[in-house]
């Protein structure tokens, strides 16, 4: 992202991206970008958030107190398993991507300890790529096992964890009355290969990688399925321990874990300098493929537990540990061709069709090349040997050609002139990196728009998946999203695989979707630049599709959080005949979007930002914020020069009061707050 972008916009955008990928990774076990890319997003977000604490406080207040995903540990716990609150939070780890970052971390720790104290015992171990678990024993018996979840609440997966042979069900006599063992459930590479052979033989989809297979197996409802998968476990940490032995060093933890009957991974070491740590890292970079399980980094921990306690933790991670991430893995293979795929909005994306290559734990056959400029910059050509890179993750990347092996007489690749789906001439709008197929009726686009409309976060139409949509579009039954609620379902009878049940199911699903929230419907229309949060803002501001369709650029721009690009895009979209026809069809198809509740209070605080600090007698924290927001104001968590007033109750934050005084911002008590709410003016 360019350096000169607005930090607020960049933080908002990064938060949305990080939240999206966290959801895919932790809750759906289906990541769509490489871990290394995800880590970079989080890295950038944290750096920006560290640089702009006031913005962070304000944004957090706008999101009614929810934390940035950059500060979040993992995914939200799924509703499918019972929640388990961790007595001791399960923290995440900060990352170092190179040796300089690692050394910088070491120096910061020593500075923090002060008095020129040095750290002379570093514990180094592998960072296993699996699913973190906390396993609780009471009176020697395994009573509960939980995933990490969001760090404070995980999911109860006791039933599947009991099937892991490495995890004892009973601890030896003399074990403490309560012990929580933490570690990583994983699948051995050999087990994974056998599992995928079996999947393939049964005509089922293979698993992407051992991590996903392990996570998917743990999060099975049926323990028997997990048992068949043959999972393994490496312990590396303790959670709550009551009346345990006195441990002085992290390495004592390993000895203790062994005494409880756990097998601790062999590849750990205690060294006295960061130079030795770097040597260990180099050694394991080389050994990466020699072990029968995947690791994606090396975890460095301060060994002395007293020192760990002294160094403490931030909200998400201990200061005394860091994960050194191994660089993504690379392999060479043949680039067979560079075909073009056409997306929902007509974007034409070149991708690499590769001779299958095993890299980063999976067999890769294609990789995106993004756009014309990227292909040109890399100068990759069909027939080239190319380097493919992939970290422990899903989307691989083509790094570049192996020039020494380039076939004689090869010529640079040219972007095709026609859409592969509908033969319309492709265009590349001025100033944009992407080519587009301008034909709105291109079957790829029609299908894409309808799939977008039907997806869970939009109209949420069950039983209306890719195959059904593809059939209906190909047969010319539906050609835009307006047709979805209007077509005669009976036509499905003529297609293979459709009968009474599937038609009834779809009919009922369509019925349920007729009353979706307005914001979801607007999102479903696939208006360029209108993602789900912008759609929610539009729904709140306009209350109906009809009134949104008559909105002007000025009206939309005036909405807090929306800018000119979005405003113009919305107005342009609704200005076409096609859009009007869609609205008419949705209406006659019985779609009745449900408008969000709108505040009926006078917008006395419109455009004003009011900070509340300390306890008020008549308003809880959330209530005070709601009272401001419902009157059109903003209720950020910190004082800045744009603050209109600071309201103080019992025990207000001293720094807020000082800052308000410094900036000359009015400070009100609760009575003053009530006047402000009512009149929008400061009390006299
Ligand atoms: S220690 C409070 N040690 O990495 C520190 N974590 O990115 C807790 N992980 O949640 C973590 N191998 O799932 C630790 N040897 C290791 C690890 C390890 C893998 C995972 C674990 C953790 C995540 C943080």
- pLDDT category at 65 given cuts 50, 70, 90 is very low
Q: CA 29 to CA 213: how far, in whole Å?
A: 9
Cβ(357) – ligand 1 distance below 6 Å: no
Return the residue whose CA atom lies nearest to atom 5 of ligand 1. Answer: 91
Q: How does pLDDT run across 492-548, given as a tens digit for each residue?
A: 999 888 999 999 999 999 999 999 999 999 999 999 889 887 898 899 899 999 999
In angstroms, what is the span from residue 326 Cα to ligand 1's centroid? 14
Mean of the pLDDT values across residues 584-589? 97
Q: What percent of the chain has pLDDT over 70?
A: 93
Region of 89 on the Ramachandran plot (φ > 0 left; ψ -120 to 50 alpha; else beta): beta
**pLDDT tens-digit series, residues 66-104:** 445 545 444 544 456 899 999 999 999 999 999 999 999
- Is the pLDDT at 368 greater than 60? The verdict is yes
Answer whether 352's CB lies under 8 Å from 369's CB.
yes
| CB of 133 sitting under 6 A from ligand 1 | no
- Of 74-78, 200-204, 571-575, the one with minimum mean pLDDT is 74-78
pLDDT of residue 664: 92
Ligand 1 lined by 236 (C-beta under 6 Å): yes
Ramachandran angles phi, psi of 384, nearest 5°:
-65, 150
Tell me what pLDDT residue 64 has. 37
Task: Give pLDDT tens digits for 610-622.
Answer: 999 988 988 888 7
Query: Quick check: 298 and 93 in contact, CB under 8 A?
Result: no
Name which residue sits closest to atom 6 of ligand 1, judged by CA: 127
The band of 360, judged by pLDDT with boundaries at 50, 70 and 90, is confident
Return the CATH number of the domain spanning residue range 7-72: 1.10.287.610
More confident residue, 215 or 2: 215
d(CA 133, CA 157): 9
Residue 127 a catalytic site member: yes
Q: Is the CB of 318 under 6 A from ligand 1?
A: yes
| Domain limits, CATH 2.40.50.140, in the chain | 330-407
Q: ∠ CA 147-152-153 to the nearest 5 degrees?
A: 50
Question: Quick count: other Cβ atoms within 10 Å of Cβ 301?
Answer: 25
431-471 pLDDT tens trace: 888 999 999 889 999 999 999 999 998 999 999 998 999 99
609-679 falls under which CATH superfamily? BRCT domain (3.40.50.10190)
Q: Greater confidence, 172 or 27?
A: 172
pLDDT at 1: 37
Banded pLDDT at 27 (limits 50, 70, 90) = low
Is any ligand 1 atom within 6 A of the Cβ of residue 323?
A: yes
Point out the catalytic residue in the list 127, 325, 634, 656. Answer: 127
Contact 93 CB / ligand 1 (< 6 Å): yes
Å from CA of 258 to ligand 1 middle: 18
Nearest CA to ligand 1 atom 21: 132
Which residues of the chain form CATH 1.10.150.20? 443-588
Distance separating alpha carbons of residues 292 and 192, to the nearest angstrom: 10
Q: How far is the CA of 324 from the centre of ligand 1 (A)?
A: 11
User: Mean pLDDT, to the nearest integer, of 627-638?
Assistant: 85
Q: Is the CB of 129 under 6 A from ligand 1?
A: no
How many CA atoms within 13 Å lie on the side-chain side of 504?
A: 3
pLDDT band at 391 (very low <50, low <70, confident <90, very high): low
| Residue range(s) of every CATH 3.30.470.30 domain in the chain | 94-325
Contact 298, 276 (CB under 8 A): no
Residue 483: band (very low, low, confident or very high) from pLDDT cuts 50, 70, 90 = very high
For position 68, what pLDDT does the model report? 56
- d(CA 130, CA 255) in angstroms, rounded, equals 23
Phi, psi of 363 (to 5 degrees): -90, 125
pLDDT band at 343 (very low <50, low <70, confident <90, very high): confident
Q: Which region among 4-8, 144-148, 204-208, 656-660 has the lowest average model confidence (pLDDT)? A: 4-8
Q: At residue 674, does pLDDT exceed 60?
A: yes
Q: Regarding the domain with residue range 94-325, which homologous superfamily does it belong to in the CATH classification?
A: DNA ligase/mRNA capping enzyme (3.30.470.30)
Average pLDDT over residues 233-257: 97
Question: What pLDDT, on a 0 to 100 scale, did the predictor assign at position 3?
Answer: 41
Query: What are φ and ψ of residue 178, in 5° steps?
Result: -135, 125
| Residue having the nearest C-alpha atom to atom 15 of ligand 1 | 127
CA of 125 from ligand 1 middle (Å) equals 10
Mean pLDDT estimate for the chain:
89
Answer yes or no: is pLDDT of 362 > 60: yes
d(CA 324, CA 290): 19
When pLDDT is averaged across residues 663-684 and rounded to a whole number, the result is 92
pLDDT category, 28, cuts 50, 70, 90? low
pLDDT band at 580 (very low <50, low <70, confident <90, very high): very high
CA 129 to ligand 1: nearest atom = 19
91 in ligand 1 pocket by Cβ < 6 Å?
yes
Instruction: Say if ligand 1 is within 6 A of residue 132 CB.
Output: yes
Q: CATH 3.40.50.10190 spans which residues of the chain?
A: 609-679
Among residues of the chain, what percentage have pLDDT more than 90? 65
Instruction: Give the predicted TM-score (pTM) of the model.
Output: 0.53
pLDDT surpasses 90 at 55:
no
Q: Which fold has domain 330-407?
A: OB fold (Dihydrolipoamide Acetyltransferase, E2P) (2.40.50)
- For residue 684, what is the enclosing H or E element? none
Nearest CA to ligand 1 atom 16: 127
Tell me the CATH architecture of domain 443-588. Orthogonal Bundle (1.10)
Residue 68 carries which DSSP code? P
- Is 186 close to ligand 1, i.e. is its CB under 6 Å away? no
The residues with which 420 forms a beta bridge, in sequence order, are: none
| Structure confidence at residue 2 as a pLDDT band (50, 70, 90) | very low
Is residue 160 very low, low, confident or very high in pLDDT (cuts 50, 70, 90)? very high
Instruction: Of 126-130, 362-366, 432-436, give the range with the top mean pLDDT.
Output: 126-130
Cα–Cα distance measured from residue 571 to residue 550, given in angstroms and rounded to the nearest whole number: 8
93 Cα: distance to centroid of ligand 1 (angstroms): 6
CB 350 within 8 A of CB 340: yes
Taking the alpha carbons at both ends of the chain, their separation in whole angstroms is: 48
pLDDT band at residue 18 under the 50/70/90 scheme: confident
Give distance in angstroms: CA of 343 to centre of ligand 1: 38
Could you tell me where in the chain the CATH 1.10.287.610 domains are found? 7-72
Does residue 128 have its Cβ closer than 6 Å to ligand 1? yes
pLDDT at 138 over 80: yes
Rounded to 5°, the CA angle 483-488-491 comes to 115
The three-state secondary structure class of 167 is coil
Distance (Å, rounded) from C-alpha 120 to C-alpha 165? 36
pLDDT digits (tens, 9 = 90+) for 301-338: 999 999 999 999 988 899 999 999 988 778 899 999 99
Listed residue (428, 331, 448) closest to 373, CA to CA:
428
Q: What whole-number distance in Å separates Cα of residue 123 and Cα of residue 255?
A: 14
Measured distance CA(360)–CA(37) in Å, rounded: 14
Out of 184, 251, 257, mutate this one to test ligand 1's pocket (max ligand atoms within 8 Å of CB): namely 184
Rounded Cα distance, 66 and 625, in Å: 13
Residue nearest to atom 9 of ligand 1 (CA): 127
């Amino acid at each position: 992202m360019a350096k000169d972008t607005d930090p607020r916009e960049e933080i908002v955008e990064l938060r949305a991206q990080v939240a999206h990928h966290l959801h895919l990774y932790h809750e759906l076990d289906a990541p769509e970008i490489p871990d290394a890319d995800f880590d970079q997003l989080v890295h950038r977000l944290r750096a920006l958030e560290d640089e702009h604490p006031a913005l962070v406080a304000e944004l957090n207040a706008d999101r009614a107190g929810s934390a940035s995903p950059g500060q979040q540990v993992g995914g939200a716990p799924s509703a499918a398993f019972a929640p388990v609150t961790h007595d001791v939070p399960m923290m995440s780890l900060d990352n170092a991507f190179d040796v300089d970052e690692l050394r910088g971390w070491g120096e910061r720790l020593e500075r923090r300890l002060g008095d020129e104290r040095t750290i002379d015992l570093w514990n180094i171990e592998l960072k296993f790529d699996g699913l973190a678990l906390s396993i609780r024993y009471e009176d020697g018996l395994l009573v509960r096992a939980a995933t990490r979840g969001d760090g404070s609440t995980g999911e109860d997966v006791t039933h599947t964890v009991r099937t892991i042979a490495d995890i004892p069900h009973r601890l030896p006599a003399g074990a403490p009355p309560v012990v929580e063992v933490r570690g990583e459930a994983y699948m051995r590479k050999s087990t994974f290969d056998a599992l995928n052979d079996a999947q393939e033989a049964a005509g089922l989809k293979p698993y992407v990688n051992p991590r996903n297979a392990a996570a998917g197996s743990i999060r099975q409802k049926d323990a028997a399925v997990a048992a068949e998968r043959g999972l393994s476990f490496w312990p590396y940490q303790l959670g709550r321990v009551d009346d345990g032995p006195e441990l002085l060093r992290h390495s004592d933890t390993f000895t203790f874990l062994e005494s409880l009957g756990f097998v601790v991974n062999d590849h750990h070491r205690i060294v006295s300098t960061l130079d030795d740590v770097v040597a260990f890292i180099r050694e394991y970079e080389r050994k990466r493929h020699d072990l029968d399980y995947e690791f994606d980094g090396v975890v460095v921990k301060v060994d002395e537990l007293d020192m760990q306690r002294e160094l403490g933790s931030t909200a998400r991670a201990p200061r005394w540990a860091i994960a050194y991430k191994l660089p993504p893995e690379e392999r060479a293979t043949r680039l067979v061709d560079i075909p073009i795929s056409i997306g929902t909005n007509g974007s034409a994306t070149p991708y690499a069709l590769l001779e299958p290559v095993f890299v980063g734990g999976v067999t890769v056959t294609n990789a995106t090349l993004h756009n014309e400029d990227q292909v040109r910059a890399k100068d990759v050509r069909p027939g080239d040997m190319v380097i493919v890179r992939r970290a422990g993750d899903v989307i691989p990347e083509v790094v570049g050609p192996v020039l020494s092996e380039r076939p004689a007489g090869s010529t640079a690749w040219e972007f095709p002139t026609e859409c592969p789906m509908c033969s319309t001439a492709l265009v590349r709008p001025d100033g944009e990196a992407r080519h587009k197929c301008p034909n709105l009726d291109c079957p790829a686009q029609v299908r894409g728009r309808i799939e977008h409309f039907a997806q869970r976060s939009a109209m949420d139409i069950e039983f209306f998946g890719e195959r059904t949509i593809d059939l209906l579009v190909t047969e010319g039954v539906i050609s835009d999203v307006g047709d979805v609620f209007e077509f005669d379902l009976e036509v499905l009878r003529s297609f293979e695989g459709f009968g009474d049940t599937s038609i009834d199911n779809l009919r009922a699903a369509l019925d349920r979707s007729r009353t979706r929230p307005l914001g979801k419907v607007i999102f479903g229309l696939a208006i360029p630049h209108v993602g789900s949060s912008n759609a929610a803002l539009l729904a709140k501001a306009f209350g109906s599709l009809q009134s949104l369709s008559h909105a002007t650029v000025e009206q939309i721009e005036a909405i807090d959080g929306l800018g000119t690009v979005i405003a113009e895009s919305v107005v342009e979209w609704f200005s076409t005949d096609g859009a009007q026809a869609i609205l008419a069809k949705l209406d006659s198809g019985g779609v009745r979007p449900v408008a969000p509740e709108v505040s009926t209070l006078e917008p006395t605080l419109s455009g004003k930002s009011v900070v509340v600090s300390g306890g008020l007698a008549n308003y809880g924290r959330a209530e005070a914020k709601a009272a401001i927001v419902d009157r059109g104001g903003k209720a950020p968590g910190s004082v800045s020069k744009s603050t209109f007033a600071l309201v103080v109750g019992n025990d207000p934050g001293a720094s807020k009061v000082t800052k308000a005084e410094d900036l000359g911002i009015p400070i009100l008590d609760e009575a003053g707050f009530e006047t402000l709410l009512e009149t929008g003016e400061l009390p006299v």
